[in-house]
Chain A
């Protein structure tokens, strides 16, 4: 048992949970959150791939990749949320 093992399994579990949410949820915000869970799960896997038993230093490359992934994910999230707001507005206007 090591920290890498524990958090690797955590990451895979979070990814699977997020995947389930992305497939099943209908509520727009919850689907976005489910996708975000998937991305955190993938981040876990990369960080675990970088991890070395201390005192050995970790591999910096996956860390850089995860930071990139985080920025990419907030961009995608922002666009999805803008679409959700826009759709809500359009549907509200036609309902009136």
Chain B
């Protein structure tokens, strides 16, 4: 029963590598992005095969779905630019091809010489699961054992939105396409469902695959639907709320990490009795921040006071 699945894995691996090549070589830029999305979904499938459903969910929602949306909206803005400004000299291409082939060979050689069954940290995680406050090992690692990394990851997201707002000052962007009535009807139908699914993913993360990042990404889709259907338009007056949304996750996460310290406890050392509550609180706030930030990254520029002609339809 193992052989057909291995064959499937091999085909999937080949397809993924081929898609990667296709992303770089296809001429049309729209096709390039679509191929990338297919590539991302195939990678997520491969990670399911490697028994990593959490990672697959995150890659499908964030790494592929939202990244794809970001790429498409950027393509929409720069579509006037020439596709390939300057051709690269053939010699450079060949030299780099050789270099990368060499790197592939070296890395593959090192990989093949490494036994894959190193014990890793799995036993240590299993041993401390009871003290972590949650039942799902990946969530325990993200929100408890390596919570400091996760806090800094939220900081990276905060840095990204600060930088994006700073970069895109006063840009008047290409008008978004009008999507029509059927789309609006669909988004009204889908919005509540997405909210439920996102919240469910957040909640279930304590015990099963899911969690703040996947849930936040799904909720960010709400923002995308609203922005695309012009059901919500960012106004300059909303900026304080947006800023509050961006920093909420970081602030609560850092605040909890510091406040639990004291009385002989260290930062990030949640009291055992309240660990689950505190982790859920952090996850909830981080989810909101992630959703707001990702939607704002999709929108791009900071909503600024713009000339009246721009505001009215």
Contact = CB atoms under 8 A, between A and B. Distances in A.
Q: Are chains A and B touching directly in their complex (CB below 8 angstroms)?
A: yes
B168 A6 contact: no
Contact of B146 (A39, A61, A92): A61
Contacts of A43: 43, 47, 55, 59
Given A75-B160, A78-B164, A84-B78, A37 B20 contact: yes
A40 B74 CA distance: 21
B213 interface: yes
B13 A10 contact: yes
A16 B153 CA distance: 26
Given A20-B24, A29-B74, A33-B24, A48 B67 contact: no
Interface string B1-14: 00001100110011
B46 A10 contact: yes
B243 to A, nearest CB: 17
Contacts of B173: 85
B100 A17 contact: yes
A12 B107 contact: yes
Contacts of B116: 2, 4-5, 8, 48-49, 51
Contact of A58 (B51, B112, B161): B51
Interface string B106-140: 01100110001110111001000000000001101
Interface stretch (B82-90, B190-198, B232-240): B82-90
A interface, over-half SS: helix
Interface in B12-47: 13-14, 16-17, 20-21, 23-24, 29, 32-33, 36, 39-40, 43, 46-47
A53 to B, nearest CB: 8
Contacts, number: 270
A60 B122 CA distance: 6
B interface, over-half SS: helix
A17 to B, nearest CB: 4
A3 to B, nearest CB: 5
Nearest to B137: A60
Contact of B300 (A1, A7, A45, A82): A82
Given A3-B50, A59-B122, A81-B71, A40 B43 contact: yes
Interface residues of A, number: 77
A16 B50 contact: no
B176 interface: no
Contact of A25 (B24, B52, B59, B167): B24
A37 B64 CA distance: 11
Given A51-B51, A60-B140, A29 B156 contact: no
A16 B100 contact: yes
Given A66-B55, A71-B213, A85-B171, A7 B50 contact: yes
Interface of A: 1-10, 12-21, 23-30, 32-34, 36-37, 39-40, 43-45, 47-54, 57-68, 70-79, 81-86, 88-89, 92
Interface of B: 5-6, 9-10, 13-14, 16-17, 20-21, 23-24, 29, 32-33, 36, 39-40, 43, 46-47, 49-52, 54-55, 58-59, 62-63, 66-67, 70-71, 74-75, 77-78, 80-81, 83-86, 88, 92-93, 96-97, 99-101, 103-104, 107-108, 111-112, 116-118, 120-122, 125, 137-138, 140-142, 145-146, 149-150, 153, 156-157, 159-161, 163-164, 167-168, 171, 173, 211, 213, 290, 294, 297, 300
Given A29-B33, A59-B125, A64-B141, 20 more contacts: A6-B6, A7-B9, A10-B17, A13-B20, A23-B99, A24-B93, A29-B74, A30-B24, A47-B52, A52-B122, A59-B120, A60-B125, A60-B140, A61-B120, A61-B121, A67-B142, A73-B67, A79-B164, A82-B300, A84-B74
5 contacts: A6-B9, A7-B46, A40-B43, A81-B70, A85-B74
